[in-house]
């Protein structure tokens, strides 16, 4: 089925002017950008977005990184969008990412790993609603 997922192009990628390069990989993988905006996340926004990780040792660094520069939040649409996006992103740690994936080509480290993608359709709906109003999404 055609579904939606949520994506973030992270500060390490915007800093290196890779917004277009990352988006091209998403489009080539069969995903369509149906909403997109470049924002600087507030600390509160980043902490809320990553609340599920708040007890993890990397939480403080992760939040600091995500507010260290602009990000591009996007809604992606396509056949089986969550899985399709996770496949083209590659493993969280770029050292484990498959050839041809975004993280293999562009990520700097497990933290500065260029992209975020929802891990389930349920979380995709939550994450999309966290950053977008319904009328900002144009399918």
33 contacts ligand CMP (rule: CB under 6 A): no
Per-residue b or e along 68-97, where b marks 16 or more CB atoms closer than 10 Å to that residue's CB: bebbbbbbbbbeebbebbbebbbbeebeeb
Say whether 116 is catalytic.
Answer: yes
68 contacts ligand CMP (rule: CB under 6 A): no
Which is catalytic among the residues 67, 116, 127, 131? 116
The least distance separating ligand CMP from the CB of residue 29, rounded to whole angstroms, comes to 17
- Stretch 86-125: interaction string toward ligand CMP, x if CB under 6 A: ------x-----------------xx-x--x---------
25 contacts ligand CMP (rule: CB under 6 A): no
Can you give the binding site for ligand CMP, defined by CB under 6 A?
53, 58, 62, 92, 110-111, 113, 116
Residues with catalytic annotation? Answer: 116
């Amino acid at each position: 089925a055609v579904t939606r997922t949520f994506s973030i192009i992270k500060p390490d990628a915007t800093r290196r002017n890779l917004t277009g390069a990352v988006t091209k990989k998403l489009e080539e993988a069969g995903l369509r950008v149906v909403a997109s905006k470049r924002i600087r996340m507030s600390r509160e926004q980043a902490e809320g977005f990553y609340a599920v990780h708040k007890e993890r040792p990397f939480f403080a660094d992760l939040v600091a990184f995500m507010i260290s520069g602009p990000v591009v939040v996007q809604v992606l649409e396509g056949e089986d969008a969550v899985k399709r996006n996770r496949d083209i992103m590659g493993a969280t740690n770029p050292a484990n990412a498959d050839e041809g994936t975004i993280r293999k080509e562009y990520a700097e480290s497990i933290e500065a790993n260029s992209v975020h993608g929802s891990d389930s359709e349920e979380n995709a709906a939550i994450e999309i609603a966290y950053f977008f109003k319904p009328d900002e999404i144009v399918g």
